[in-house]
Structure 1
Amino acid sequence: MNLLVLAAALVAFAAPSFAQEQAGSSSTVVIDGSPAPVAPETITRDARNRATVRAIKLASPLVMDGKLDDEVYQTNKPFGGFLQVVPKYGVESTERSDVWVTYDEDNIYVSCRCWDEAPPDKWIANELRRDTNQLRQNDHFGVMFDTFYDRRSGFMFYTNVLGALADYSVIDEGQSNTDWNPVWESRTAQFDGGWTVEMAIPFKTLRYRSGLNQVWGIQLRRAIRHKNEWTYLTPVPQNLAGPQALNRVSAAGTLVGLDLPPASKNFEIKPYAISRLSTDRLRATPLNNDFEWDLGGDVKYGVTANLTADFTINTDFAQVEIDEQQVNLTRFSLFFPEKRDFFLEGRGVFDFGRGGAGAQMGATGDTPSLFYSRRIGLNGGRVVPIDVGGRLTGKVGEYGIGIMNIQTGDEVVSRTPDTNFSVIRVKRDILRRSTVGAMFTNRSASSLVSRDGSNQAYGVDASLAFFQNVNIGAYWARTATPGLDADDDSYQGKFDYTADRYGARAEFLKVGDNFNPEVGFVRRDDFKKSYAQLRFSPRPRNIKRVRKFTGEAGTEYVVNGAGDLETREHNARFNTEFENSDGVTIEVTDTYEMLLQAFRPVAGAVVRPGSYSFQTVQASYTMGPQRPVSGTWSISRGGYYGGDITTLGYSGGRVTITKRFSLEPRVSINRVSLPTGEFTTRLYGSRVDYGFSPRMFTSALLQYNSSDRTFSSNLRYRWEYRPGSEFFLVWTDEQDTRGNRFGGIGLRNRAFAVKATRMLRF
């Protein structure tokens, strides 16, 4: 009932804005850049190299084959003139790119003839899976559309030589939402002298204002990875060298000449059917090959051109990859990233206290989150059923809106009761790239209160961006939990200067002892922290093999609620980035820790209360991600709470065997000696991927963790048999490797699932 009332209120709230948007859709837009080109010209540039591009209206759809042999390519001029970010900032690309932007009543098309002097066997093209990190390390071409020309948010699409698909969205120049998976297609081909691409993006996939002479923002990116060269249509800040510059929406060019069809209401229904065979020996009443089937689905409705409502019923996440295991040798909780589609789409709206535009304005790991979606539907490593949920996200004028309400069922093993979760987020655009906002969260059943009781959290925040490199962020938040009445707030102020050659950061953070956002995440409480960092990163001109040196020095002081020093850390780091994108890093850390309570890093080992001072030295070598074998090797040696620790690691690894087949191994080994004993932790894992086509792949994630002696496997087959509609086969298995003689139980749980979805668009 709460959800239905909320949905009705949201639609009523949004209705006036829809009329306002349509009424204002034909108003004159001031171009932020060079004047509009006049046919037959397709591009103009001003003295600052800002570009304005003219879109070409088609009489009939393109033939999507990637060959660029339609008549439009012969009768209309292409444009190009891409500019390097690296290796030579501001210089025209070493390879020519001929681009056309066209559209008809149903799609907008972006086509490019990517010239390349290197032979095809030198091109980097080894990824077919959708939305992977490796895809952007291939030679690729992509586009960003700022469909409301607000210079803040955009939709991104890119593809490689093999035609693999990657897409994501960005809100307020924040972090990428790579789990936005719209319907679109790409076709590629090769010619003597390079490769070609045609991308067709349906207008139904996008949110925009309809009408004549519409204006969008546009940015184009071409990565020539075999040269380690990144190029863009318009100038972007040098400190954003690499793929992240596509997210700087305010630096994009302008797209004119768009006579757009009426924006679709974008009504989508995506039902699913699933059957599952499960064994679970952790339950009070164990399951053994228990068969079940279920139905459910999602509904998406475009309330206005820029406001979308989503509903989910009997939500299932069987196709989601399991978490990558981590080793925790600290006394604080681990943070695991969200992987479930429903919570990932539109997540940028729910960012709170991020501070400053762009992904550069991060925060240190102790910063709490007011909203952490893994609190919903997961508890104690168990899946909690989601009965029904709804979400409204988008913009109403200058206001960003995010409202969510989820109802979950109970779960026996983790003793989770029926719970309702609500989140309300409002942001207001100010200045050119800044926002102020507020957030409220509610959990109907507090996890800390034995009797009936709920939990609320609320706060305000500001994210201010000045010039290209100055970011300021601040927030204040408070929680309400029965029995926790004092010291229940948290606040933070941050400053970040992110120029390419110099950098500086400063932060003050306070988290109260009773600050308890139960729809959020708190790693550490009852402290005040002061943090500062300076950076110097020159680009030497007389050392050909070196692209950039980076030296950083930082210091951190943490006092507890009583005013006693609890943590002090001084850190120095030096990195060399080579022209081939390899890198070597040396890092030295001096740490002081005061423990008021003992903690157990692993079973059988104890770190006792007391004061500890220790130093650590770490060295690492990173092989560039475009290489056939890539990743970071690291070794560290130092003190650990009165003892010592040696750590060996290999992370971010990838071994390309063929264009379709790859491995992604990782290793972490920690050898620890304490006054109370010695222990070694080992974590081994690998992802094994095989891509049949851009819309079909199989993947396996295999992991062993010595901390709990478990071996887990997660095998997935995904086939997008038509755009937006998918078929999955999923096998998950977790084994206790100790065996029965040593207190183990062998098989802990196992499941085999078959799931099919069908996208219906109206």
Structure 2
Amino acid sequence: MRNIALVLIMCVTTYGKECYSQSIQDIYRLSEEITLDGVLEEQAWQEISPFPMTQYEPVFEGGLSERTEIMVAYDDEYFYVAGRMFTEDVTIIAANSLYRDSYSGDDVFAVILDPFNDNQNALRFFTTPAGVRFDQTISNDANDIAGASAVNSSWNTFWDVATSQDEQGWYAEIRIPFSSIGFQSNEGTAEMGLIVYRWIAHHNERHTYPAIPPNWDRGEIKPSQAADIRLKNVDARRPVYFTPYVLTGYQQQNQLNSTGDSYEYENDFERNVGFDVKYNVTSNLTLDVTANTDFAQVEADEQQLNLSRFSITFPEKRQFFQQRSGLFTFNFGNTRLFYSRRIGLDNQGNQVPIYGGVRLTGRVDDWDIGVLNMQTASSEILPSENFGVIRLKKNVLNPGSYIGSIFTSRVGADGNSNYVFGLDGDFNISGDDFIEVKVSQSMDNQVAESERYNFTDNSIFRITWQRRASVGLFYRFFVNRTGSEFDPGIGFFRTINTSDYFYRIGYGWFSDENSIFKSHSINVGSFNIFENETFDLRSRFISPEWRSDFKDGSSFSLNARFNQEHLLPNEDFELLGQIYIPVDDYNFFDASVSYNTTDNKKLRNRFTLEYGEIFDGRRFLAKINPRWIANIHFELDGSYQITKLDFPDRFNRATTDFTVHLAQLRGQYAFNKKLSTSAFIQYSNVNELAGLNMRLRYYFREGQDLWVVYNETINTIRDQMNLGSPRLPFMENRAILLKYTHTFDM
């Protein structure tokens, strides 16, 4: 047996965490070709010693219910991960779906690679007994920061997997090209971070290597807890991936005619071509180029119910913006300096043609580098514009700390321009304690010249102190100040001319081994917004919360919330565009309870109930999120939310009440791993619209896809409130598109 030297010792890491740590491990270099078939018959897999696995959950270091063997190796072009998932009763092996990137409670075999060994960023590749592929990026050491998720599930790259199964269990082989990983080498030697794990759905049990204590949310995927590995004599091939596309189809839009008395169909036959190019300039720098960029195959946005007076954001699903997306994050709570949906979409969510763009991302020494530039065409409400972002981050002091900067620009053909500069630092001061400092200034030519260079009015500042843990005492405190003229041109903000402070403090603990509960946590949080000059209160909430997780994977939470809203003169508004909220001071209370069933059942659900006051009215909300796995080919999931709003008499008006219905249904059918179809149906009586988004995909091979997409929006209420306005058409818009992409490895 060829052994990998493992030195397991109790330690205190750079972060001051008690953990299991490993000396750096030399990974086995293959001398023979691996046949990717999931059978694991090659001599190499017999020679490599499996990693020692530890139960991560439901009981840390508890007894393993099944035997797991995981090995890794590499050759000139690929990184390989192989697993033997032995199972005494093979009937419990869960393989519920054939649909890529749609997890359905299956058993899982996974590898997490920190290719630059920076303890902050990683790539996760995982598969199921059916050989379905999932890939994600992880940023900020798996900590969600300022409203940005640390896990990006929309990212995709090139890799392969094969699985097999017999009477002893199931087996998997993952093969990842080095060109899809990216790494930094020194004279042919590369050091990376590695985590491997197996998830057994039936037992709600996770086996991991290394032995990571469950002291953090998502601790099982934290790059800072990865084992250090070393690959020698490796120099990745740097292919050029050239991916042209052709698009054709038919679109129909109803437009008000020139006389304004009826709607007419406007037909458009779509014919388009474009391309993307991906090239690894070096093993640690990736260049992406796009021309005549198209996102026809992207699923429609989910409609959201906004019961506040502030704007909301939508997630970015477009593939071009996924590469190292976490690097470009520069957030001040609800304010973002870079919000990629500003590019190629107007404020109403309508598409704006993109001529093309370029992106360079990677790492040089201890510098993270991100550069993005995009050029859009003109639209009905926007001129042709150029968007630019430069983001730099440098490790300092220890692996958990960095200083960084950002520059964004938005320049229109009409002469308008907006520039934003920012500096930030995130410092690991002790253990899990971090202090984060951020400052930014905008320069917009729409601001009066006398105010354009006033730092106080055109800036935003934030300082945060937090303990990033979920066990024991945890807390987060921040103060934030936004100037009256601050405007991130390609960002997002809810308020300006405000000073905010926030705190959350809580405590988490594990139950004993014999309890049905896995863990509990309790916390209280408060967010407060004040006017800058007068320090008058604008908005506040104080909210205690209790959460408990069961060992079977289910969970419940209880939440109470006291709210205060102070509407300034001219801040009266219509809630949901239906209910008038006058200028006044409002104090109101609400509470909620939610329960999640376990994911290892064919039918699972999430239930949420909320009741209380809203401004000077009452609110009741009930929401269900069922998901049904019919078989490995077909699944349904959706949500239905009913919200009843009831307001008393105001200004001699009759009692105002309104019932909101928001429904979504998503169905997926996979004939096999190559051919699949999905349908997404939405209805909202607030917007008085129903939408249908259907997609059929045939996957020939990695990088070669055929898409057929059908979209339709229907007006559910056609008679308009305004007298004299023509009746709305039944169909608002419709499109059927066919798109083919083919990647050439050059």
Query: TM-score when scaled to structure 2?
Result: 0.90
Q: How far apart, CA to CA, are the structure 2 residues paired with 1:253 and 1:624? A: 30
- Compared CA separation, residues 145 and 284, structure 1 to 2 (3 A): farther
Which residue in the other structure is 1:275 paired with?
248
Q: How far apart, CA to CA, are the structure 1 residues paired with 2:520 and 2:194? A: 32
Equivalent in 506, 514, 528 of residue 557 of structure 1:
528
Equivalent in 341, 359, 374 of residue 374 of structure 1:
341
Which residue in the other structure is 1:736 paired with?
715
Q: How far apart, CA to CA, are the structure 2 residues paired with 1:602 and 1:257? A: 57
Q: Read off the aligned partner of 1:610 and give its amino acid letter.
A: D
Counting only pairs closer than 5 Å after superposition, residues 357-368 of structure 1 correspond to structure 2 as: 363=333, 367-368=334-335
Whether the 8 Å contact between 1:631 and 1:650 is mirrored in structure 2 is: yes
Whether the 8 Å contact between 2:623 and 2:641 is mirrored in structure 1 is: yes
Of 370-379 and 553-562, deviating more is 553-562
Pairwise CA distance, 1:558: 1.8
Whether the 8 Å contact between 1:177 and 1:346 is mirrored in structure 2 is: no
Whether the 8 Å contact between 2:2 and 2:49 is mirrored in structure 1 is: no
Asked if residue 106 in structure 1 is aligned to residue 84 in structure 2, the reply is no
Gaps in structure 1 of 5+ consecutive residues: 1-38, 355-362
Which residue in the other structure is 2:604 paired with?
630
Q: How far apart, CA to CA, are the structure 2 residues paired with 1:233 and 1:282? A: 59
Which residue in the other structure is 2:617 paired with?
643
Q: Read off the aligned partner of 1:736 and give its amino acid letter.
A: N
- Compared CA separation, residues 543 and 104, structure 1 to 2 (3 A): closer
Which residue in the other structure is 2:439 paired with?
476
Whether the 8 Å contact between 2:195 and 2:221 is mirrored in structure 1 is: no
Q: Read off the aligned partner of 2:323 and give its amino acid letter.
A: E
Q: Read off the aligned partner of 1:405 and give its amino acid letter.
A: N
Q: How far apart, CA to CA, are the structure 2 residues paired with 1:535 and 1:492? A: 22
Q: Read off the aligned partner of 1:595 and give its amino acid letter.
A: L
Equivalent in 223, 227, 242 of residue 199 of structure 2:
223
Q: How far apart, CA to CA, are the structure 1 residues paired with 2:227 and 2:240? A: 31
Equivalent in 509, 512, 525 of residue 480 of structure 2:
509
Q: Read off the aligned partner of 1:149 and give its amino acid letter.
A: N
Report the 3-state secondary structure (helix = DSSP H, G, I; strand = E; otherwise coil) of the residue aligned with 1:259.
coil
Whether the 8 Å contact between 1:353 and 1:461 is mirrored in structure 2 is: no
Q: Deviations over 1:484-520 (max 9, x none)?
A: 5352211111122133122111111222222111200
Q: How far apart, CA to CA, are the structure 2 residues paired with 1:453 and 1:563? A: 33
Of 332-341 and 534-543, deviating more is 534-543
Q: Read off the aligned partner of 1:761 and give its amino acid letter.
A: D
Q: Read off the aligned partner of 1:613 and give its amino acid letter.
A: N
Q: Deviations over 1:74-99 (max 9, x none)?
A: 4x143132112222223463322112
Gaps in structure 2 of 5+ consecutive residues: 11-19, 143-149, 259-263, 651-655, 722-726
Q: How far apart, CA to CA, are the structure 2 residues paired with 1:283 and 1:221? A: 57
Equivalent in 394, 402, 407 of residue 435 of structure 1:
402
- Compared CA separation, residues 161 and 525, structure 1 to 2 (3 A): same
Report the 3-state secondary structure (helix = DSSP H, G, I; strand = E; otherwise coil) of the residue aligned with 1:173.
helix
Whether the 8 Å contact between 1:179 and 1:345 is mirrored in structure 2 is: no
Which residue in the other structure is 1:340 paired with?
318
Pairwise CA distance, 1:522: 0.4
Which residue in the other structure is 2:385 paired with?
419
Report the 3-state secondary structure (helix = DSSP H, G, I; strand = E; otherwise coil) of the residue aligned with 2:135.
strand
Whether the 8 Å contact between 1:149 and 1:217 is mirrored in structure 2 is: yes
Report the 3-state secondary structure (helix = DSSP H, G, I; strand = E; otherwise coil) of the residue aligned with 2:303.
coil
Asked if residue 386 in structure 1 is aligned to residue 354 in structure 2, the reply is yes
Pairwise CA distance, 1:739: 2.7
Q: Deviations over 1:283-340 (max 9, x none)?
A: 7786544212110011112222211111110001000001000111211111101110
Pairwise CA distance, 1:454: 1.0
Asked if residue 153 in structure 1 is aligned to residue 121 in structure 2, the reply is yes
Counting only pairs closer than 5 Å after superposition, residues 393-472 of structure 1 correspond to structure 2 as: 393-412=361-380, 415-430=381-396, 431-445=398-412, 452-472=415-435
Equivalent in 114, 126, 151 of residue 96 of structure 2:
126
- Compared CA separation, residues 741 and 470, structure 1 to 2 (3 A): closer
Q: How far apart, CA to CA, are the structure 2 residues paired with 1:548 and 1:161? A: 29
Q: Read off the aligned partner of 2:636 and give its amino acid letter.
A: L
**What percentage of residue pairs aligned between the two structures are identical?**
28
Q: Read off the aligned partner of 2:3 and give its amino acid letter.
A: E
Which residue in the other structure is 2:724 paired with?
none
Pairwise CA distance, 1:547: 1.2
Pairwise CA distance, 1:168: 2.1
Pairwise CA distance, 1:658: 1.1
Which residue in the other structure is 1:314 paired with?
292
Report the 3-state secondary structure (helix = DSSP H, G, I; strand = E; otherwise coil) of the residue aligned with 2:215.
helix
> What is the aligned residue count?
699
Whether the 8 Å contact between 2:255 and 2:266 is mirrored in structure 1 is: no
Whether the 8 Å contact between 2:90 and 2:168 is mirrored in structure 1 is: no
Q: Read off the aligned partner of 1:105 and give its amino acid letter.
A: D
Q: How far apart, CA to CA, are the structure 2 residues paired with 1:554 and 1:147? A: 36
CA RMSD in angstroms comes to 2.2
Report the 3-state secondary structure (helix = DSSP H, G, I; strand = E; otherwise coil) of the residue aligned with 1:221.
strand
Q: How far apart, CA to CA, are the structure 2 residues paired with 1:301 and 1:491? A: 37
Equivalent in 648, 656, 660 of residue 633 of structure 2:
660
Q: Read off the aligned partner of 1:497 and give its amino acid letter.
A: R
Counting only pairs closer than 5 Å after superposition, residues 494-573 of structure 1 correspond to structure 2 as: 494-499=464-469, 500-541=471-512, 544-561=515-532, 562-573=534-545
Which residue in the other structure is 2:462 paired with?
492
Whether the 8 Å contact between 2:97 and 2:631 is mirrored in structure 1 is: no
Q: How far apart, CA to CA, are the structure 2 residues paired with 1:233 and 1:101? A: 12
Pairwise CA distance, 1:468: 4.9
Q: How far apart, CA to CA, are the structure 2 residues paired with 1:47 and 1:399? A: 31
Counting only pairs closer than 5 Å after superposition, residues 564-643 of structure 1 correspond to structure 2 as: 564-596=536-568, 597-643=571-617
Whether the 8 Å contact between 2:116 and 2:363 is mirrored in structure 1 is: no
Q: Read off the aligned partner of 1:180 and give its amino acid letter.
A: W
Which residue in the other structure is 2:15 paired with?
none
Pairwise CA distance, 1:467: 4.9
Q: Deviations over 1:47-95 (max 9, x none)?
A: 2343454433333321222112223334x14313211222222346332
Q: How far apart, CA to CA, are the structure 2 residues paired with 1:443 and 1:257? A: 43
- Compared CA separation, residues 617 and 731, structure 1 to 2 (3 A): same
Pairwise CA distance, 1:171: 4.2
Q: How far apart, CA to CA, are the structure 2 residues paired with 1:335 and 1:214? A: 39
Equivalent in 678, 689, 696 of residue 710 of structure 1:
689
Pairwise CA distance, 1:582: 1.2
Q: Read off the aligned partner of 1:432 and give its amino acid letter.
A: P
- Compared CA separation, residues 519 and 202, structure 1 to 2 (3 A): same
Q: How far apart, CA to CA, are the structure 1 residues paired with 2:189 and 2:407? A: 40
Which residue in the other structure is 1:45 paired with?
7
Report the 3-state secondary structure (helix = DSSP H, G, I; strand = E; otherwise coil) of the residue aligned with 1:563.
coil
Q: How far apart, CA to CA, are the structure 1 residues paired with 2:430 and 2:600? A: 33
Which residue in the other structure is 1:13 paired with?
none
Q: Read off the aligned partner of 2:418 and give its amino acid letter.
A: N
Q: Deviations over 1:722-756 (max 9, x none)?
A: 11221101000001111357743221111000000
Whether the 8 Å contact between 2:239 and 2:279 is mirrored in structure 1 is: yes
Which residue in the other structure is 2:41 paired with?
69
Q: How far apart, CA to CA, are the structure 2 residues paired with 1:258 and 1:164? A: 31
Whether the 8 Å contact between 1:50 and 1:253 is mirrored in structure 2 is: yes
Q: How far apart, CA to CA, are the structure 2 residues paired with 1:168 and 1:438? A: 25
Q: Read off the aligned partner of 2:109 and give its amino acid letter.
A: F
Q: How far apart, CA to CA, are the structure 2 residues paired with 1:370 and 1:198? A: 41
Report the 3-state secondary structure (helix = DSSP H, G, I; strand = E; otherwise coil) of the residue aligned with 1:72.
helix
Equivalent in 204, 224, 232 of residue 208 of structure 2:
232
- Compared CA separation, residues 46 and 603, structure 1 to 2 (3 A): closer
Whether the 8 Å contact between 1:54 and 1:101 is mirrored in structure 2 is: no
Q: Deviations over 1:585-634 (max 9, x none)?
A: 22111111111221111233200110111110111111123332223211
Q: How far apart, CA to CA, are the structure 1 residues paired with 2:406 and 2:257? A: 39
Q: How far apart, CA to CA, are the structure 2 residues paired with 1:489 and 1:508? A: 14
Report the 3-state secondary structure (helix = DSSP H, G, I; strand = E; otherwise coil) of the residue aligned with 1:437.
strand
Q: How far apart, CA to CA, are the structure 1 residues paired with 2:117 and 2:257? A: 56
Q: Deviations over 1:258-286 (max 9, x none)?
A: 432x3222311110000020001147786
